[in-house]
Structures are given as C-alpha cells and as structure tokens.
Amino acid sequence: MDRVKLLSQNHQQEKEEGEGNNGRNEGTLLKPFMGVKARRLASFRTEVKGDYLDLESNAFLSDILSKRGDQKLLFADRIIKLTGSGKIKQRAMMITDRAIYLADMDSCALRRRISLASIDRICLSKLKDNFFALIIPTEYDCLMASTRKNEIVSILVEATKIKPSYEIAVVFSNR
C-alpha cells in the first residue's frame, strides 16, 4: 500500500513539474488530457521528436507531401489503422499544417488524405490505451492506435487552433 502512495506522489510531482516548463514539451502536450484520461506511467517522460520516420531520407513519403504543396511537417510516424471489417493495417501517418496523410509503406501508395478542416472531433477513451478515432462527418471515420497518441492529439489540436474557422474538439468517452 505504501508503494502505491509513493508512486502516486511521484506521479503528482512529475505532473506539476511538466506544467511549469515552457516551450513545446510534455507540459503543453498533456493539456488536452488534464484530469480526464488515465495515463500509463511510461507516457509521462517521453521525448518529443515529431518526425519519427526521417522523411528527408524517404523519397516516397517526401514526394507525397511535395506533390500536394504541403511544406510544414508537424508529425510523422507509423501507426496501426483498424478497418471497418476488423483488419489491422500498418500505415505511415504524416500530419502537416493542412492535412493528415495515411500511406502504405509496403506498396508505396498514398491510401488517404484527410483535410484538417474536415475533422469534427477526436474521440478517446478514459482508459490507459493507445486508441483514438478521427470523426469526419463528410467521410468515414478512422480508428487508429499509436504509442504516441498524446503527441498526435496535441499536435492536431494546436494545428487547428491557429485557424479560427475550424477547431478540433477532444471527446472522452468509454462507450
């Protein structure tokens, strides 16, 4: 029992330290989740890199962005996409200041481009999991999983705050 109290005290101290830091770090990345979502202990001390796919050395992915006129890359990493039929697909996710790109690395094909303006909200559970759903009213929704979910959600919220015409809402529900 004392060990649990000690862990929770350390956990609280880490949260307070993270809130006091300036710049784009863990404190700012956790804002959409404060007090609502249960978090895994490993997710509190993570490095924020942004480009985990090293797009400069990957010609296929950098061509996708250059053909569509996107120049500012905010995030790039491998994610797991769950299809409507229950299949699991591994995709490369790239977030720019205008859109989200989902590419298949095995077949070197762009599978989907989602405009940031078309995203209505991001749904998350209150549990300690890596799943998130992008709710898009004009198209089909997208259920994904990533170990960097906190970074993805925070980047999407920050990217849409710049444009006052659209802002992505973050919804927590266990339904």
Look at residue 8 and tell me if it is in a domain. Answer: no
Residue 5 lies in a domain: no
Per run of 10 residues, the mean pLDDT along the chain (length 175 residues) is 38 45 45 58 61 84 86 91 92 93 92 93 91 94 93 91 81 86
Q: Is the pTM of this model over 0.75?
A: no
CB atoms within 10 A of CB 103: 22
Model pLDDT, residue 95: 94
Q: Which domain holds residue 97?
A: 50-173
Pairing between β-strand 169-172 and β-strand 121-124 as defined by DSSP bridges: parallel
Residue 58 lies in a domain: yes
Backbone Cα Rg of the chain: 17
Q: Quote the tokens at residue 144.
A: 């994904």
Residue 153 lies in a domain: yes
- The H or E element that residue 122 is part of is strand 121-124
Count structural domains, the chain. 1
Is 9 a domain residue? Answer: no
Residue 14 is assigned to a structural domain of this protein? no
Distant-in-sequence contacts of 130-138, Cβ < 8 A, 24+ apart? 134/100
CATH number at residue 155: 2.30.29.30
Q: Would you state the structure tokens that stand for residue 137, as one six-digit string?
A: 């009213």
